[in-house]
């Protein structure tokens, strides 16, 4: 990861490990703390992480989805004052990690002391860069059963993509699938904001095959036959009170 902010150059090499950052959003505060340790100054807010070609990375992008040796660049972004922060500082979490694991902590090497201040990043990627990089998956096969529904989603070159590049958020009546790390640099997505019926998100599963992702959705007791994954009736009935992508997610990665 590189930066040249306020005329100061800084480079940090990051290697994936069990206790270290796993997303772009978690890595940036570590880099900024390393910058502060070297120069004794904060870089400040309104920062974004981009690729060598200038494409912005979303905060939730898994680091495992990037190719080994990928160069990341930290630069100032141009954002309005009304825009909210995409990532909040996590100094308490970092200090707790250091206190618990001492010199075995990943963060130990990046902080002079456990009390080293953590700069506050405000933004990681422009909206346009993130939106332009997402491709909606159009093809899938629905397999309905008595107690569960299986969704087969073909994805080209999935076998060559890194571990943890498949991310699924299951909610009460929706799911959101994202596939990172494709050879063409795109993020492939399938979002069903309102499923045919409510599901038991705790019992839903995801399997990664050579050329497809298999989602297993557990029906609630008394569930009906599914002829579509999308809900197509009763959407405007007040008694349903359905919110697209509503509820807390249960997230799985493969």
| Sequential DSSP letters for 164-192 | T-EEEEEETTEEEEEE---TTS-EEEEEE
Q: What is the pLDDT of residue 105?
A: 43
What pLDDT, on the 0 to 100 scale, is given for residue 241? Answer: 64
Domain residue spans in the chain? 2-129, 133-253
CATH class belonging to 133-253: mainly beta
pLDDT of res. 171: 94
Residue 194 CA to residue 160 CA, distance in Å, equals 31
pLDDT score recorded for residue 216: 98
- List, for the chain, all residue ranges whose pLDDT scores fall below the cut of 50: 78-91, 93-94, 97-98, 101-119, 122, 124-125, 127-131
The sheet with strand 148-154 has its strands ordered as: 141-144, 148-154, 212-218, 205-208
Q: What is the structure's pLDDT at 108? A: 38
Q: What is the pLDDT of residue 100?
A: 54
């Amino acid at each position: 990861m590189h930066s040249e902010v306020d005329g100061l150059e800084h480079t940090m090499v990051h290697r994936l490990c069990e206790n270290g950052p796993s997303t772009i959003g978690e890595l940036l505060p570590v880099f900024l703390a390393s910058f502060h340790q070297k120069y004794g100054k904060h870089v400040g807010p309104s920062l974004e992480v981009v690729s060598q070609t200038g494409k912005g990375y979303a905060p939730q992008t898994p680091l495992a989805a990037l190719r080994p040796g990928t160069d990341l660049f930290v630069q100032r972004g141009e954002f309005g004052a009304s825009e909210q922060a995409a990532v909040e500082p996590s100094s308490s979490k970092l200090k707790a990690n250091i206190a618990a694991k001492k010199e075995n902590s990943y963060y130990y090497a990046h902080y002079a002391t456990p009390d080293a201040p953590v700069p506050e990043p405000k933004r990681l990627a422009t909206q346009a860069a993130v939106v332009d990089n997402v491709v909606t998956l159009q093809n899938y096969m629905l397999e309905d059963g008595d107690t569960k529904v299986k969704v087969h989603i073909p994805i080209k070159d999935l076998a060559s993509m890194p571990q943890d590049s498949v991310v699924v958020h299951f909610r009460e009546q929706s799911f959101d699938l994202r596939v990172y790390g494709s050879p063409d640099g795109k993020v492939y997505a399938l979002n069903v904001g309102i499923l045919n019926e409510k599901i038991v998100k705790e019992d839903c599963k995801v399997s990664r095959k050579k050329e497809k992702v298999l989602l297993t959705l557990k029906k609630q007791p008394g569930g009906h036959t599914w002829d579509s994954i999308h809900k197509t009736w009763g959407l405007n009935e007040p008694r349903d009170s359905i919110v697209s992508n509503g509820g807390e997610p249960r997230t799985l990665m493969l």
